[in-house]
Amino acid sequence: MSEQPLDRYAVIGNPVGHSKSPTIHAAFAEQTVQAMTYEALLAPLDGFKDVVSSFFQNGGKGLNITVPFKLEAWQMAERRTERAELAGAVNTLWRSDEGCLWGDTTDGVGMVTDITSNHGITITGKRVLILGAGGAVRGVLQPLLEQNPDRVVIANRTLSKAETLADLFRSFGTIEASSFETLLGEFDLVINGTSASLQGDLPPIPEGVISRDSRVYDMMYSAEKTAFMQWAESQGVALAVDGLGMLVEQAAESFAIWRGVRPETGPVIRQVRAAMVAA
């Protein structure tokens, strides 16, 4: 008897060689005993749709999408989940049994799961400040608001961008926009949705928005503490964490969509963290 071929999955991006997704999904597959492969595919900047079409035509089962193709993936999807529709971006693609190309975004649920389950931070009833108003922030607002925080404030250098997002998600909870200069009050949870800290920079956060009792979360991650985490700790914050767990949790959500089984994420987060520190 010939062996049954392995189901094929991949992440598509440009660049994509740095992606940790193949390592993460290989660990998930081993843990849950799934007959599958997962690879990284480099797509030309003007050739994303061709690569996706070829992948599925040749029997591929599912794709993760990373920068800069999440908007194109959203446009390509024939059907989208509600959270993907609102996020305006897709990071997970698959074909249904009927042959329909579905799109979802798992970033928001990945972040919320990491914050609440892995770090034990409560969102419900809390005052939440989120820094930035780009695609990364838009992608997480619905799952964040579904936790029923007391309120969410989006702070951004360009106020109009924050206002646009606040208007878009107002039906999901109490959400408002602010410039950095006009930020008032203290927040229980501050989430950095900008990439500034990876360059060693910080958004212009005014004094008084955090206290020792605040919790701080950086959606970015690195082997060392990010600049945002270092700033928070210098302010006396007891808990400042990065977004590596978000990366693994969003992957677990994609995996569950594709395979119908949810892997245990804790060991994989530790594995990826150890590899980053050792590199």
Domain definitions of the chain by residue range = 7-105+248-278, 108-242
Rounded CA gap, 111 and 170, in Å?
Answer: 20
Residue whose C-alpha is closest to residue 103's, from 86, 79, 71: 79
Collapse the DSSP code of 76 into the 3-class scheme (helix H, G, I; strand E, B; otherwise coil) and give the result: helix
The whole-number pLDDT of residue 3 equals 67
Flag whether 234 is marked binding: no
Asked whether 74 and 84 are in contact (CB, 8 A), the reply is yes
Flag whether 246 is marked binding: no
Flag whether 107 is marked binding: yes
Rounded CA gap, 49 and 90, in Å?
Answer: 13
Asked whether 228 and 202 are in contact (CB, 8 A), the reply is yes
Return the active site residues: 70
| CATH class of the domain defined by 108-242 | alpha beta
Flag whether 19 is marked binding: yes
3-state SS, one letter per residue, for 157-168: CCHHHHHHHHHH
- pTM higher than the cut 0.75: yes
Residues near 68 by beta carbon (within 8 Å), at least 6 away in sequence: 13, 14, 45
Flag whether 220 is marked binding: no
Query: Do 7-105+248-278 and 108-242 agree at the fold level?
Result: yes
| CATH class of the domain defined by 7-105+248-278 | alpha beta
Query: Can you state the angle between helices 21-32 and 266-278, rounded to 10 degrees?
Result: 140
Residue 107: phi and psi, rounded to 5, are -60, -45
- The dihedral over CA atoms of 112, 114, 118, 123, expressed in degrees to the nearest 10, equals -30
The whole-number pLDDT of residue 5 equals 86
User: Taking the chain (279 residues) in consecutive chunks of 10 residues, what is each chunk's mean pLDDT?
Assistant: 80 96 98 98 98 97 97 98 97 95 98 98 98 96 98 97 98 97 96 90 93 97 94 95 98 98 98 95
